[in-house]
Amino acid sequence: MYIIVGLGNPEEKYARTFHNMGFNAAADAAALLGAKFKKKECSSYIAEAYVNGEKIVVARPLTYMNLSGVAVKQLLAKYGVGPENLVVIYDDYDIPKGKIRIRPSGSAGTHNGMRSIVSEIGTQNFARIRIGIHDSEVNIPIINYVLAEVRKEDYELFISACGRAAEAAVKLAEGMPVEDVMTKYNG
C-alpha cells in the first residue's frame, strides 16, 4: 500500500496559488488512478484506488500547509503504512518554475509543510516530489510569492508540471524503483 500526499491549503482562495501545487498534483494523481476525493478522514480529503490488488490512497490535508505533518501522521497510523510507502508532493521555491525533482529522502529545507511532516513522523526518509516555482523575474518576499496566484502566462507550464509530478507519484506507488522514476521525470 502507498499513500500519496499533495500539500496545499484547503480554501478555494488558495486553489491557483504556488503553494497549492501539491494539491493540484494530488488531484491529477487521483484522476490518473480513476479515483475521486469522496471522503474526509485523518484531517484530509481522501481518494482511494487499487492497482494490481494494492491500495493507493491519495490525500490532500485540510490542516493548512504549516500543519501538514498532523494529517500525514494520522494517515500513516490509520493505514499502518511506514514512511517508506509515503510520497509527498509540494512546491519548492529553490527550483526553477515548471521543473520537478524527485528524491528518495532529504531535509525539509525551508518548506514549512515539510518541516511539519518531518517533525511529526520523526524521519526524513520518505519520497518527495518537488515542483519548482521560482521565477527569477519576480522579486517579492517568499511568503507573499507562494501565496500569490500563478500568472496566466505561466498557468500551462504549471499544469504540465503538476501532471508530470502526478505521473511520477503514481509510478512510485505502482512499485517503480525511485532511481528509475528520478531518471524519467527529474528536470
pLDDT for 142 beyond 90: no
Digit-coded pLDDT (tens) for 70-110: 999 999 999 999 999 999 999 999 999 999 999 999 998 88
Which three three-digit cell numbers place residue 32? 490518473
Q: d(Cα 14, Cα 149) in Å, to the nearest integer?
A: 8
Q: d(Cα 100, Cα 110) in Å, to the nearest integer?
A: 17
Q: d(Cα 90, Cα 105) in Å, to the nearest integer?
A: 14
Active site residues: 19
Q: What is the pLDDT of residue 51?
A: 94
What integer best gives the mean pLDDT of the chain?
A: 96
Digit-coded pLDDT (tens) for 4-40: 999 999 999 999 999 999 999 999 999 999 999 999 9
Q: d(Cα 96, Cα 178) in Å, to the nearest integer?
A: 22
Contact between residue 76 and residue 82 where contact means Cβ atoms under 8 Å apart: yes
